[in-house]
Homo-oligomer: A and B are copies of this chain.
């Protein structure tokens, strides 16, 4: 063992492992803890009093702060150009949100050179990392031509492995009134070109986007190409989205702001995660989804940012945690779980979202005595350090 590849994080006031078999309660919380990382992997986690022999690498003093798994942001749209601040300002004076606004960003994205898209993408990923996000999913969906969708995925592949083909984000302008022709393009030439770059296939199944039958056709084609489904479902109204997601054993049904009782039953009986995106309701002044109802029904809930320039221009998982607690009925600890392990489950990842022995050492240190402070101290940057695979990649300002 090389000492350079090992680090002991000591003097942790609260360690959140998300390991119910180790530590207190369902989230595996350990007080007065330490964590030993070797070769980018969690090698040991436990009470300071129990630190084993052989932990002689670098040593980091956590100063009584909190260590938790890095946030797993399982839903983000990061390849785009332009912003929509004027549309946001108008909406905050009363204009409603409509999915069609996506077309504004499509036009800007198509006309932007690679370097412009790459620079914005890099800034957003860096910004997310500073607030504690160590795994981030990224969708295409602002290209909507074969070449522009491929380009989006190719650029996104430079920053993440969690790549989602979302050619079916919205019907582009030039296919207005010919949605079925666009679906044929998506499941044909576009999917052929994009599938080699992507892990996931996604479709926006909602008012103003694609209906249930179109969504099924798109997911079916994606599955045939080896992609795994996830669905933008029931954001704007009740509809087929959740049922389609469950029918296709999707990894996640995202938004799910408008649910019937049978939607909730279907989710609870499935292994499809309900991914809630409070930034979208925040920035469109829509009603928040009722996380409590989902949790009480036994649904697995994830939190993600939905980062995009139209309806949720935030990369901040701490912000999503705070809103989920304030406005969606989650307890602080449930929200932290959903932003970490919940996101990992929405991406069907076993290696992140928790700090069990063997996990990837993706974690953050808060300058606060408890993870509850992520909701208790809203808007405050509490991050004092971020590690990815055991390497410290950010030093924050928080004490």
Contacts and interface: CB of A to CB of B under 8 A. Distances in A.
Contact of A370 (B85, B92, B130, B373): B85
Contacts of A19: none
Interface string A277-292: 0010011010000000
A127 B85 contact: no
Interface string A77-112: 000000101101100110000000000000000000
A372 B85 contact: yes
A280 to B, nearest CB: 11
Interface stretch (A146-154, A167-175, A325-333, A350-358): A325-333
A92 B397 contact: no
B377 A379 contact: no
A30 interface: no
A287 to B, nearest CB: 12
B131 A381 contact: yes
A116 to B, nearest CB: 14
A314 interface: yes
A93 B83 CA distance: 38
Contacts of A283: 326, 376, 378
A380 B332 contact: no
B376 A127 contact: no
B381 A381 contact: yes
A369 interface: yes
Given A83-B369, A381-B131, A282 B376 contact: no
Nearest to A319: B379
A378 B314 contact: yes
A210 interface: no
Interface in A309-326: 313-316, 318-320, 322, 325-326
A378 B123 contact: no
Interface residues of A, number: 43
Given A369-B83, A398-B127, A88 B380 contact: no
B130 A378 contact: no
A370 B89 CA distance: 11
Given A89-B372, A372-B89, A379 B130 contact: no
A322 B316 CA distance: 13
A326 B285 contact: yes
A375 interface: yes
A399 interface: yes
Contacts of A131: 379-381
Given A85-B370, A369-B83, A397-B130, A379 B332 contact: no
Contacts of A375: 88, 92
B313 A379 contact: no
A352 B161 CA distance: 48
A59 B282 CA distance: 38
Given A397-B130, A399-B123, A88 B372 contact: yes
Report, nearest first, the 10 A-B pairs whose CB atoms are least far apart: A319-B379, A316-B379, A88-B376, A85-B372, A314-B379, A313-B377, A85-B376, A89-B372, A314-B378, A92-B325
16 contacts: A83-B373, A85-B370, A88-B372, A88-B375, A89-B333, A89-B372, A92-B325, A127-B380, A127-B398, A283-B378, A314-B377, A316-B380, A318-B379, A319-B379, A320-B379, A381-B381
